[in-house]
Amino acid sequence: MNSPFAHLETTSRVIKRAQYEAFEFTIGVDGVVVRNASHANPDEHEYVVTVEDGLPTECNCPADANYDGACKHRVAVAIRRPILDAAVDRQVAADGGTPISTADDSDDTINAPETPSTKELDDSTVADDVEDAEPDACDCDELPDGFPCWECVRTGRRVL
């Protein structure tokens, strides 16, 4: 089975941002509300990602409207399988089906860790896709004295 992430076209920069920015997710009637708590005013950085057939297909953010490929909000939903599954379950319930119950259905807000690594992803296929997307895409070459970039340190490709 392919991961939802495998169906999205995007850049390595967007993938990285989808992993490390402090997103908060709320499952709503219209889709997944993605709030970027990395910003000083998170209320101004809140967008709705539409999920269709188990895939994040649209986002009402400016980047998704103006650029080719999936935005960081769509990628953030795709790589966090519990969020995507909850959105699909909500759609099933709205269509008259029976959703899969979770341990605590009282709070639909799920806070993602601020710096998730690909090792924390639920779907190993997603982790492979993220790591294979552009293995040489890093900023190490731009740094002085062989100093590694944060992405290489975070993923274990290089150490300080």
What's residue 159's pLDDT? 77
Instruction: Answer whether 0.85 is exceeded by the pTM.
Output: no
Segments making up each domain of the chain, as ranges: 4-155
- Annotate 85-144 with DSSP letters as a single string: HHHHHHHHHHTT--PPP-S-TT--EEEPPSS--GGG-S-HHHHHHHHHH-TT--SGGGSG
pLDDT tens string 31-71: 999 999 999 999 999 999 999 988 999 999 999 999 999 99
* pLDDT tens figures, 67-123: 999 999 999 999 999 999 998 887 655 555 554 444 444 444 445 444 444 444 444
